Amino acid sequence: MSQSPPPSAHDARDESGRLIRELHGVTLAQILEYLVAAYGWPELDSRIRINCFSTDPSIKSSLTFLRRTPWARAKVEELYINTRTAELRKAKS
């Protein structure tokens, strides 16, 4: 009997059954707070090189920058999706 492949980041679902990649009901502030809690500012800065993560970082200043900078927001959202997907996979195993 063959096993099905593990879910990819494209089909991972949260506890409510929603696709993680759709970010349904998740605000940018919640995403940023989650990533800061998971990685801390120094690690977040090493993963996504953005000055607002390295120079006097704060949620407020980072949100201001991310809301005005689509490429940076996309990178933050992608890191969130990948991190949440890995977290959910680990919890299921």
Sorted by where each starts, the structural domains of the chain and their CATH numbers stand as: 28-91 (1.10.720.30)
pLDDT at 14 over 80: no
Q: At what angle do helices 28-47 and 70-92 cross, to 10 degrees?
A: 90
How high is the pLDDT of residue 9?
A: 52
pLDDT at 7 over 70: no
All residues at 6 or more sequence positions from 66 whose CB lies less than 8 Å from its CB, including other chains: 28, 32, 52, 72, 73, 76
How high is the pLDDT of residue 89?
A: 82
Q: Average pLDDT of 32-38?
A: 97
Lowest mean pLDDT segment, chosen from 44-53, 56-65, 84-93: 84-93
How high is the pLDDT of residue 16?
A: 66
Burial of 87 per CB tally in 10 Å (0-12, 13-18, 19+): middle
Q: Are 76 and 65 in contact (CB under 8 A)?
A: no
CA distance 2 to 36: 39
